[in-house]
Chain A
Amino acid sequence: MPTQETDHISYQRSFYVEGGNFNYAGTVSTSIKSILKQMDLPNDVVRKSALVSYESEINIVSYARKGVIKLSIYSDIIQIEAIDEGPGIPNIELAMQEGYSTATQQIREMGFGAGMGLYNIKSFSDKFDISSEVGKGTYLKMIINKFSSR
């Protein structure tokens, strides 16, 4: 797989995500989806990219103070990074488990908080990296291959 250092980047854009504001939760991913849709990519590639972006965006809104979702398109891959300033995740292995959630009642009322988000992100990404520092924030990197789909 091409690495981001050597591969040609054809498109890059960052989107601001405000923590705690559910009015706009998902709007960034809707935009990312419509950008990708215009690029003549296979439908399932667009769908997977939008999905991992959406779960990350909802997590930033739900748990962090603020964050950025960065879309980078290379010749063979779509890279989506979700970078936030927030409480961080103390135990990543636990957070990745299906069903683990610290979601508040407000989040649950909107249909989130099943503890499935990070698990979904991992299973829909072709490559997934997560790192986090307690008290600082969380970094996710998702890569979706443009051509060979799951």
Chain B
Amino acid sequence: MKLREVKEILNAEVIVGEDKLDMEVKTAFGADLMSDVLAFAKAGSILLTGLTNDQVIRTADILDIAAIVLVRGKKANTETISLAKDLKIPIMTTKYILFETAGRLYAKGMVGCVEKVDNANARN
């Protein structure tokens, strides 16, 4: 689906990247732990998270994350927003909680960037 549809499904407000809404995105990952994002998120996925600091933007940049969706109505501060602009990473914010955000996207055909962890990567 297009980023524009993600925006519409989530009733989201675009904070950065209004010009990138035609980008195609197929998979997503949701987490508030950056190391889990680093371990599992795939290039080109969207990241659903409740964290709003610079590290989220840097993590997304390192991993070639397509866009960030801030959940639970979170807003980023001005410095974080300008970092996202510099690194050209779209950000939008939705009032839905993480569970609802994921569910609504999934219902419309978005899937996880990994379905489940394999044994070698099992987390406790």
Contacts and interface: CB of A to CB of B under 8 A. Distances in A.
Given A99-B124, A114-B36, A25 B55 contact: yes
Contacts of B123: 98-99
Contacts of A30: 58, 61-62, 87
A116 B38 contact: yes
B77 interface: no
Interface residues of A, number: 29
Nearest to B61: A30
Interface string A57-90: 0100000000000000000000000000000000
B85 to A, nearest CB: 14
B53 A47 contact: no
Interface in B45-94: 49, 51, 53-56, 58-59, 61-64, 87
Contacts, number: 79
Nearest to A115: B35
Interface of B: 32-39, 43, 49, 51, 53-56, 58-59, 61-64, 87, 121, 123-124
15 contacts: A26-B62, A30-B61, A43-B64, A47-B62, A47-B63, A47-B64, A54-B58, A54-B59, A110-B53, A111-B53, A111-B55, A111-B59, A116-B38, A117-B38, A120-B39
